[in-house]
Amino acid sequence: MKQVRNTQAKTEILNLINSSDIALTHSDIQKKLGDLCNRVTIYRVLERLENEGAIHKIVNVDGVVNFAKCSGKCTNEQHFHNHVHFNCKECHSVTCIENAIPEISLPEHFVPQDYNFIISGICPKCSRA
């Protein structure tokens, strides 16, 4: 069994992601952490947290990578993130929409394993502004 390393940086990054209603970019995390750790450490911690099944990665429509908390079903062997991600064109936030799961129909002999849907539009916060 692989040992799980817990550091202050790892704990703080996981707390930030778990307490956020939206997915966070590396830059968001770095700003919120201040001088706690450098950008390379943040990248390493994010990779470790993803490998442990604690967070998942979302590549946004503009190519920016965002990180969000995993549902309770994820493990270090398998992630379960077959849900919609909503990208706001105004504030650029990315939100996991767990209860919207699209139905996929593929041609014969295509076997889906994972998918990542990103819907772009205006989030509720920005539509009220």
**Annotated binding-site ranges for Zn(2+):** 88, 91, 123, 126
Q: How far is CA 16 from CA 20, 29, 56, in A?
A: 6, 7, 14
Q: How far is CA 109 from CA 69, 105, 106, 112, 115, in A?
A: 32, 11, 8, 10, 17
Q: How far is CA 55 from CA 86, 91, 126, in A?
A: 17, 22, 26
> Binding-site residues, please?
88, 91, 123, 126
Structure-token pair, residue 58: 């979302």
Q: Residue 122: which of 97, 85, 87 has the closest Cα?
A: 87
